[in-house]
A and B are shown apart, each in its own frame.
Chain A
Amino acid sequence: MATLKVNDINKNFGKTEVLKGINLNISDGDFLVLLGPSGCGKSTLLNTIAGLETANSGDILIDDYRVNDMEPSDRDIALVFQSYALYPAMTVRKNVTFGLEQRKTSKEKIEEALVNVSNLLKIDSLLERKPSQLSGGQRQRVAMGRALVRDPKIFLFDEPLSNLDAKLRVEMRREIKKLHQKLKTTIVYVTHDQTEAMSLGTSIAIMNHGIIQQCDSPKVIYDKPQNVFVADFIGSPSMNLIKGKIIEENNNLFFECDSSKNKSNIPLKNYKFVQNKNLKDKSVYFGIRPEHIYLSQNSDQSFEIKLKSELNEYIGHEQIITFNFNDQEILGKFSSSIDIPGNQEINLHFDLAQISLFDQKTEERI
């Protein structure tokens, strides 16, 4: 149970800057997910918090105490690794208790903690086995047990589920969530899987090129992405970004698509602009998620448009249709129970309450 502050962390490996001025503020009991594509620096950040890497500048504070110069073992953190990193030659029991033994904890206390954790994670029947005799899911549990048994201030997870198969991953995800609800420990969790991030985190920090692009609750990140990168990264399929510009007609703002043949300008009068200077004639991306395109009107801010369907991808519970919008591809996501004809003009409704606009130059939300 602790707070974690990351103040202006910079880190380079040789000439490559991996972390560029990272700031994070995690309150007690928070579940922060670091999300980003591979190579964005999220694991380096986690290792820096753990003390396995040293930052070139900046501070790490746990419970407002500067831990920069402390050994990983003295920071009272626990790290669950992607490869589980169990000690191959030791039994599960030894694996779990190794950390406590290093800390010269009394035998009775170790036994008590071991019993608690093995019951909690349902590994009590595996205690005498070696890691090689465990399945992937069991190894994952043992790795978590090893972290839990020390009752650390902060849990760090480094892509703990990415070595599991799809079904097990969903199961373990739920268990981690339950565990957090039960224990209410502060957690920092690194992943590149947006579903994991959305479902687990109380807040998500999206990273790219060593910079935090947006740090917010999952809902804000999904509804109001801060920039084009976030908009594109979150959601599957990702948000449609239509190139065009903002125009003014009769004192009302409209979005005009590039190479617009049929003057189907989209009204923006209900859009909440972050700032409303110099909007006129600005080149922008008009962002709408595939799931916010409907076949019938279901919102008072609906915008009706006729588009030609070009491609149908059936995925079982849903279908993804590619439409042609003034020679730009846009995707729509619909329930698979509806029959949508191919190569035909179809009446669609854009839910304008759910759109985002980004400046083409800065790629920031406007």
Chain B
Amino acid sequence: MVKNNLKFEQLETASKKKKIIYRWILFLILGIFALYYITPLYVMIVTSLKSMEEIRTGNLFYLPKTINFDSWLEAWRGQLVNTTSGLKVDAGNVYLKNYFWNSVKMVVPAVAISTILGALNGYALTKWRFKYDNIIFLLFLFGTFIPYQAILLPMARTLGVLGLSNSITGLVVVHVIYGLCFTTLFCRNYYVSISDEIVRAARIDGAGFFKIFFKIMLPISLPILVVTVIWQFTQIWNDFLFGATFSFGEAAPIQVALNNMVLTSTSVKRYNVDMAAAIIAGIPTLIVYVLAGKYFIRGLTAGSVKG
């Protein structure tokens, strides 16, 4: 007995020691990754708050001596120059304000339409049996694997025929069509986990296809709707390729404008304004994540875990 106890005590101290060492290794690795992710953001914010003078003379990682938001204002509404009729925005100057609203006008309807259609598709594919429903589902699945580049030319032609090229409406159409496969897939996987008996009960109660969808399915779909909204919002807001291909000039979304702004500066590169503009372009997605983030995680796992 004594011998046994001794052995257990040794094992206990050994495993305690091991636990502490592993814990520290874990923290170290996590710390390195956190630093790696946060450094660019830090540099962006710090640089956007510095003056050009300070950027040129100082170090990339130094904190600004004084905080000023001039470069943010410039990124938002352009650089003011002295003209004969007072302070005005230079005509050749690219700034974000108009394009930001372009993006909002594009993203809101595109997200709303693709989400609601995706939910409707998912509901129809899981709760109703119709001919070739499996094949249609496979086609949707296949649609999620189509790369952006593959649809550029046919889509440009289609938009041309529809008379929607170089318009925000055209971009809404493109994003709805491209996003539909994803939203359908998300919603289908969510609705699969919801008991078919609810739909059967509603059918016996006398409700039809759309009534069941709007009165019974939609009210319990919040978790997955949040997931699709976040996904679609991020995709559409951050999209550059479709925006650059199907629109130019005044109708361009913010990401295209950001690109133009950074690339077409005639004089010196104004890093502070560029950084501020990049942050402004990223803020809406950030807000969506903060507001709906907790549903995002919940919705992603919904359906995979029962109960």
Residues of A within 8 A of B (CB): 47, 50, 52, 71-73, 77-79, 81-90, 98-99, 102-103, 146
Contacts and interface: CB of A to CB of B under 8 A. Distances in A.
B134 to A, nearest CB: 13
Nearest to B197: A85
Contacts of B204: 50, 52, 72-73, 77-79, 99
B138 interface: no
A105 B219 CA distance: 24
Contact of A98 (B197, B200, B205, B219): B205
B67 interface: no
Given A50-B200, A102-B206, 6 more contacts: A72-B203, A81-B200, A86-B198, A87-B201, A88-B220, A102-B211
B207 A85 contact: no
A102 B200 CA distance: 14
B288 interface: no
Contacts of A85: 195, 197-198, 200-201
Contacts, number: 61
Contacts of A87: 198, 201-202, 215-216
A147 to B, nearest CB: 9
A89 B200 contact: no
Contacts of B215: 87, 98
A102 B198 contact: no
B195 to A, nearest CB: 5
A188 to B, nearest CB: 14
B200 A73 contact: no
Contacts of B216: 87, 89-90
Contact of B201 (A71, A79, A89, A103): A79
Contacts of B203: 52, 71-73
Contacts of A103: 206
Q: How large is the interface on B (under 10, 10 to 19, 20 to 34, 35 or more residues)?
A: 10 to 19
Given A52-B200, A79-B200, A89-B216, A73 B195 contact: no
Interface in B131-187: none
25 contacts: A47-B200, A50-B200, A52-B204, A72-B200, A72-B203, A73-B203, A73-B204, A79-B201, A83-B197, A85-B195, A85-B198, A85-B201, A87-B198, A87-B201, A87-B202, A88-B220, A90-B219, A98-B202, A98-B205, A98-B215, A99-B204, A99-B205, A99-B206, A103-B206, A146-B205
Nearest to B205: A99
A81 B207 contact: no
A81 B205 contact: no
A77 B205 CA distance: 9
Contacts of A73: 203-207
Interface string B188-226: 000000010110111111110001000110011000000
A102 B211 CA distance: 10
B211 A146 contact: no
A87 B219 CA distance: 10
Nearest to A75: B204
Contacts of B205: 73, 98-99, 102, 146
A50 B201 CA distance: 10
B207 A102 contact: yes
A87 B206 CA distance: 14
Max count, chain A CB within 10 A of own CB: residue among B195, B200, B220: B200
A56 to B, nearest CB: 15
A78 B204 CA distance: 7
A81 B206 contact: no
B207 A82 contact: no
B295 to A, nearest CB: 16
B209 to A, nearest CB: 12
Contacts of B207: 73, 98, 102
A89 B201 CA distance: 14
B249 to A, nearest CB: 46
Contacts of B206: 73, 99, 102-103
B140 to A, nearest CB: 23
Max count, chain B CB within 10 A of own CB: residue among A50, A78, A79, A87: A87
B197 A89 contact: no
Nearest to A74: B206
A84 B207 CA distance: 17
A52 B195 CA distance: 15
